[in-house]
Structure 1
Amino acid sequence: MEDNNLEKKYSKLIIAVSIVIPVVVAILFGVKLKDFGFNVEPLSVLPPIYATINGVTAIVLVWAVLAIKNGNQKLHERLMTLAIALSVAFLVMYVAYHMTADSTKFGDLNHDGVLDLAESAKVGSIRYLYFIILITHILLSIAIIPLVLITYVRALAQRFDRHRKIAKITFPIWLYVAVTGVIVFLMISPYYAN
């Protein structure tokens, strides 16, 4: 009964966090510090760092699954906590970068912020692939928030039967978000203004 209480105790917090994080990120994504008089240079060092964090997160997730399959629960717990910490670090850096830099247009070869017909023709249909990956990445990164939190709380509550059931859904989605984060960076990085 106490285990159910732990899940119940955190359910409202999970709902709140799952709503607040995407809303705050969306709002902050539209905020540019320079529009408020702050003279800040774009934090252009951050995209390769947060892309690397996404890649490390993917490795940590796979390692954590292997650890639990090999019966190493303590290592699994530590790795999953690390994966959450890495995801939070990614989010903070992602927001910080987008608050200091203008959006990058995929295919903008001359970095003028405009995708003209020649640039569009040169990029071709790969642009559609980029947007498919980007849109699924964004949507699933929103969906993964409550899944990770529910999965984590069920482990804390030692409801391992319920934890395993949702982890089978959470893991592949979280892995997809981490891997596509790297892919999106690799695809857009040639178009960042220097």
Structure 2
Amino acid sequence: MAMTEAEKKYKKWIVTLSIVIPVAVAALFGVNLRKLGYDVEPLSFLPPIYAAINGITAILLVAAVSAVKKGKVKLHETLIKLCMACSIAFLVMYVAYHMTSDSTPFGGEGAIRYVYYFILITHILLSIIIIPFVLITFVRGIAGAYERHKKLARITYPMWLYVAVTGVVVYLMISPYYAH
């Protein structure tokens, strides 16, 4: 099936955002304003907030899938838009925290250390991979390419849900090691 005009229209944006977002996050992650001499307060209150946003995203994703299965397409669309807004809010807070605070090393030992790093690495990798999947799936939905939307959503949904849930798990595992 051919791309709709809307899909063609947004293709450049999807490609651009799929590259720019991870590159910008990686670049900004390495910038610590305090170490550069700026007098900024560490935003140490943000991690539990952005972890909660990940949890809210997971709940909204499940609700969105439930809504569409019940034929509530408008509700599904609204919930997905909220998920996207939550993801953007998470991203802004995550970058702001890391630009103003020192990184917190994981302090667990033994097998839990391997579990933590497995979850963290898969979370990070999928959070990069998921960007074009979410954007393409969303555009297919708003463009009315419902069969192609549904087909891709079957892949996008579990990945996005995994990223949202593991964001909470990573926070819970590292939170005892934050400096207070």
User: Aligning the two structures, in what range does the TM-score lie when normalised by the shorter sequence?
Assistant: over 0.9
Q: What is the identity percentage for the equivalent residue pairs of Structure 1 and Structure 2?
A: 67
CA deviation digits over 1:53-91, x for unaligned, max 9?
Answer: 000000000000000000101100100000000000000
Question: d(CA) in 1 for partners of 2:138 and 2:111?
Answer: 40
Task: Give how far 1:36 is off.
Answer: 2.6
Query: What is the CA-CA distance between 1:41 and the residue it aligns to?
Result: 2.0
TM-score, length basis structure 2? 0.97
**Counterparts of 1:4 and 1:63, CA distance in 2:** 28
Q: Which runs of 4+ in 1 moved over 4 A?
A: none
Tell me the equivalent position of 2:155.
169
- Match status 1:74 vs 2:60: no
1:128 equivalent in structure 2: 114
Q: Deviations over 1:7-30 (max 9, x none)?
A: 111111101100000000000000
- Aligned residue for 1:88? 88
1:116-153: CA deviation from partner (whole Å, max 9, x where unpaired): xxxx6xx2120010000000000000011000000000
State the AA in 2 paired with 1:13. Answer: W
Point out the structure with max Rg over C-alpha.
Answer: 1
Number of residue equivalences: 180
Question: Which residue of the partner structure matches residue 46 of structure 1?
Answer: 46
Give the equivalent residue in structure 1 for 2:28: 28
How far apart are the structure 2 equivalents of 1:179 and 1:156?
A: 26
Question: 1:189 is matched with which residue?
Answer: 175
| Alignment gaps of 5+ in structure 2 | none
Q: Quick check: 1:3–1:158 contact (8 Å CA) kept in 2?
A: no
Unaligned runs of 5+ in 1: 108-119
Give me the whole-angstrom Cα distance separating, in 2, the residues matched to 1:134 and 1:52.
17
TM-score (norm 1): 0.90
Amino acid at match of 1:189: S
The residue aligned with 2:59 is 59
Q: 2:131 aligns with which of 138, 145, 149?
A: 145
Q: Do the aligned partners of 1:3 and 1:157 also contact (CA within 8 Å) in 2?
A: no
